[in-house]
Amino acid sequence: MLLNKIQCSQLFLRKYCHYFERRLHAQVTTFQTVKTLQISVEEPAKHPISGLATNKSAGDIFPAPRVVPMVLSKDPVVLPFDDVPGPKSLKYLSNIRHYISEIGTQLTATLLTTGLNISSYLSKRTSIRNLSSLFDDYGPVVRFVSPVGGDIVLLNHPEHIRKVFSLEGDYPVRSTLESLEKYRMEHRNHVYGGIYTVHGLEWVRQKSIMERPLQGASTHYASSIYETCDKFTQKIYNLRNYQDEISKDLYKEIHKWAFDCMGVLIFSKQFSMIDTEVVYSQCDKSWMYHCLEQATDALDKCETGPHLWKLFTTPAWYKLVKYCDNLDHLIGKHVLEADRELSGKSTDADSHCLMNAILLSDNQLTAEDIATILMDMLIIGVNTISSSMSYLLYYIARYQKVQCLLYQEIENMYPNLIIDDITKLKENTPYLQACIKETLSIPRGTLIIMSTQEASLKESNYDDAKKFNPDRWIKAVHDYHAFASVPFGFGSRKCLGQNIAETMLSLLTIRVLQKYKLEHHYGEVQPTRRFISKPSKPLKIRFIDRM
C-alpha cells in the first residue's frame, strides 16, 4: 500500500515537473526573440504565453517577468564580434591561444639567431657560426621545425630566390611590421595598418598613390638635397677634433641629415636638424625628430625577438604607442596646414612634395590616412638610408684604393656636374653606383626567409665575395646571377624609395669626397643584429681636408 502511494506521488511529481519545464522553456524562448513586444500603457499587461492579465492570482504560480520596452533605431549599428561582452579571463586565454603560434615562430627565430651568434655577444667579435655554416651543412634550403609555431625555411641560392619571387603573383605577401599594424588598427582604430602592413588590392591602391610622386621627387628636390649635403660637410668641419675625427656620434649626424632630406621630400620644408644641437626642445621640428628616434628604438625592440607585446603591455610597446601618437599628431598638423593652403588655392603651395601630391590626387584619402603613409615613409626612409650611408662612408674610408678611383671619377665630372638631372648624374658615375650596390650587399641584417645577404657573400656567386670590391659591378661582361644581390627587393613589391635612396647616397658621397679624404684606423665594425641594422660601435672616421 505504501509502495503504491510512493509510486503515485513520483508519477504526479514527474508530470508536474515536466509541465513546469515546458512553461519555463516557452517563456525563455519568447523573451529571446528579436521581435519587439508591443505594450500598451492604457491596458493591463498580458502574459506573453497564456494571455492572462498579470494579476496577483496568475502570478502566484507563473510570475510574469519584467518586460522593458526596447527603443530601436532605424539604422542599426553593427558592432565587431570582439565587442560582445563576456568573461575577460576567457578572452585573455583566447588571445594566448591565438598568438601562441606566432610567438612560437618568433621565439624559434630568436633562439636560432642567438645560438648562431653567441660568440659575438660574449667576445664582441665576428661570430664563429653564422648562417653560412648552416647552408654548408644542410645545403641551400634549410628548415627549422618549431614545436609551438610555424616552421622557418631559409634559402640562399639565387635560383631558389628567383623562383620564389616568380611565384608571388599579382599580390605579393611580405612579413609585416606587426607592432605598427596593431598600433594603427587596435590603438588608433584605423581601417588599415599602413602600406608596409597591408596586402592585396589595398596594397595596390596605396602603392599607386605613392608611386608617381616618388618618381619625380628626387629630381625636383635634387638641389635642395645637395644643399643639405653641403650643410653636413660643414657640420663635420665644426665637429672635428685635433685628430680630424668626429668627437660625437657620426651615425647620429648622418641620421639628422637623412631626416632633413626626407623633410624636404615629404613636407617641402627645411627642418635644419643638422644645424641643431639640442634636439629635445619643444619646437615642432625638434620634437618630431626626438619622437622619431624614440619610436624607432621601440619599433626595433618590438619587432626583434618574441612578440610578448601581443599578450600584455611591455615597456617597448608602451614607448611605441607614446611616441607614435606624438609623431602622428605632429605630422597631422602639417597635413591639415597643407590642406588649408591647397583648398585656398595658395600660390605658395609646392605640388611636388609627397604630402601635397597625395592631397591633390583623386584618391579619397582622409588626413588620418595621409598621416599614416607619411609616418611610414619617415620611419623607414630615415633609418634605412642612415644605415646605408654609414656603411658606405666606412667602406670608402677603409679601402683607400676604392676611394682614389671614386674621387677621380667625381673630379672628372665636376666641371659638368648637373645636380638637377639625376638620371644623367647616375650615368656619369658608374663607379659610385657600384660602390653603393656593393655597400648594400655586405652588411648582414636580421634573419629573413630568403637570405639574400648570405647569397651575396657566397664565393660560388662572386669572386672575393667578402671583400669590398665595387669593380665587380662595372665589368663589361660578368656571369653573376641577377638574384645573387637584390638589396631593394624585386617585382611589384620592391622598395618604392629606391630612386630616392640612391640619389641621397650619391649626392652626399660626392659632396663629402669633394671636401675630405676619409681614413679609418680602427678595428672592423660589425652590424648590429637587430630589426634595423646599424654599426655596432661609433664610427671613428678621419675627415682630412683636401688641398
Binding-site positions for heme read 495
Beta-carbon count within 10 A of 117 CB: 19
Count Cβ atoms below 10 Å from residue 520 Cβ, excluding itself: 20
For the CA atoms of 327, 330, 336, 337, the dihedral, rounded to the nearest 10 degrees, stands at -150
374 close to 266: Cβ distance less than 8 angstroms: yes
The alpha helices in 240-366, defined as continuous H runs, are 250-267, 284-303, 315-343, 354-360
- Considering only the C-alpha atoms of the chain, give the largest distance between any 2 of them, rounded to a whole number of Å: 128
- End-to-end alpha carbon distance in the chain: 128
Classify residue 375 as exposed, middle or buried by CB count within 10 Å of its CB (0-12, 13-18, 19+).
buried
Question: Which grid coordinates are listed for 32?
Answer: 529571446
139 Ramachandran zone, left/alpha/beta (phi>0; psi -120 to 50): left
Q: Which of 398, 385, 147, 151 shows the shortest CA–CA distance to 262?
A: 385
Report the alpha-carbon distance of residue 219 to residue 222 in Å, rounded.
5
What backbone torsions phi and psi does residue 140 show, to the nearest 5 degrees? -75, -10
In this structure, are residues 501 and 262 in contact, taking their beta carbons and an 8 Å threshold? no
Q: Please spell the DSSP secondary structure of 217-265, one letter per residue.
A: HHHHTHHHHHHHHHHHHHHHHHHB-TTSBBSS-HHHHHHHHHHHHHHHH
Q: How far apart are CA 117 and CA 100, in angstroms?
A: 25
For residue 485, give the 3-state DSSP assignment. coil
Cell 635642395 -> residue: 224
**Of 213, 214, 221, nearest in space to 357 by CA:** 213
> Mind giving me the DSSP string for 373-393?
HHHHHHHHHHHHHHHHHHHHH
Q: Report helix angle 315-343 to 367-398, nearest 10.
A: 110
Beta bridge partners of 246: 240
Feature table: binding site: 495
Could you tell me if 309 and 298 are in contact, meaning their C-beta atoms sit under 8 angstroms apart? no
Four-point Cα dihedral 259, 263, 266, 267, nearest 10: 160
Distance from C-alpha of 435 to C-alpha of 474, rounded to nearest angstrom: 10
